[in-house]
């Protein structure tokens, strides 16, 4: 795919075999991308998502590392005020289990997306003397889990029911009653 670009930005949460987070966060600056920085405007994915084209979820942009896709329903994408949100049902494969483990350990802390800009979908300006590319309309091809995020305002976190241990004891009591079928 000529002219396809890849950018990394995500916050991930994992629970069970589902991973979700933000593949792109709006109005944040990227790391240096080779002599320029980049920022994604709100709404940049709206038209691409409306086309309902098949988007794949990969590990490190490698087509052989398929984790899911929108056409099968294992990858769900949406755009909100924060960015491009995704929810991915990880496959019960060695790759799927490995990626979940790496996210849980904190070794993989980001994700990426592959795209092309739509005609007129970007413009250039300056930010602190450095070229700044502003993306306003993006044609999305993949969402990728990776260990090298280009956008520093993102992170990867694994969540599970074990996280409730740090909550208020009253919350534990209410949760225990719900699990046991008791009234609150």
Q: What residues pair up with 123 in beta bridges, in sequence order?
A: 134
What string of pLDDT tens digits covers the 184 residues of the chain?
A: 566 766 655 455 555 688 888 888 899 998 888 999 999 999 999 999 999 999 999 998 899 999 999 999 999 999 999 999 888 899 999 999 999 888 878 888 788 889 999 999 999 999 999 999 999 999 999 998 888 767 665 544 444 433 333 334 443 334 333 434 444 4
Q: What residues pair up with 19 in beta bridges, in sequence order?
A: 14, 88
Return the DSSP state at 166.
Answer: G
**DSSP states along 10-60:** -EEEEETTEEEEEEEETT-BPPP-SS-EEEE-TTTTHHHHHTT---EEEET
**DSSP states along 95-153:** HHHHHHHHHHHTS--EEEEEEEEPTT-EEEEEETTEEEEEE--EEEEEEEEES--SSTT
Q: What is the pTM of this model?
A: 0.77
């Amino acid at each position: 795919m000529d002219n396809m670009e890849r950018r990394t930005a995500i916050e991930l949460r994992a629970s069970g075999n589902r991973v979700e987070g933000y593949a792109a966060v709006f109005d944040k600056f990227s790391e240096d991308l080779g002599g320029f920085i980049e920022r994604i405007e709100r709404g940049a994915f709206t038209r691409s998502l409306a086309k309902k084209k098949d988007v794949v979820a990969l590990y490190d942009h490698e087509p052989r590392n398929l984790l899911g896709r929108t056409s099968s329903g294992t990858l769900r994408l949406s755009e909100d005020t924060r960015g491009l949100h995704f929810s991915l049902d990880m496959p019960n494969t060695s790759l799927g289990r490995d990626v979940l483990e790496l996210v849980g350990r904190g070794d993989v802390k980001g994700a990426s997306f592959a795209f092309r800009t739509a005609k007129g979908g970007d413009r250039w300006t300056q930010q602190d003397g450095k070229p700044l590319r502003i993306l306003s309309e993006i044609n999305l091809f993949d969402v990728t889990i990776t260990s090298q995020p280009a956008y520093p305002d993102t992170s990867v976190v694994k969540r599970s029911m074990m996280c409730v241990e740090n909550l208020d004891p009253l919350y534990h009591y209410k949760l225990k009653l719900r699990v046991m079928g008791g009234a609150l």
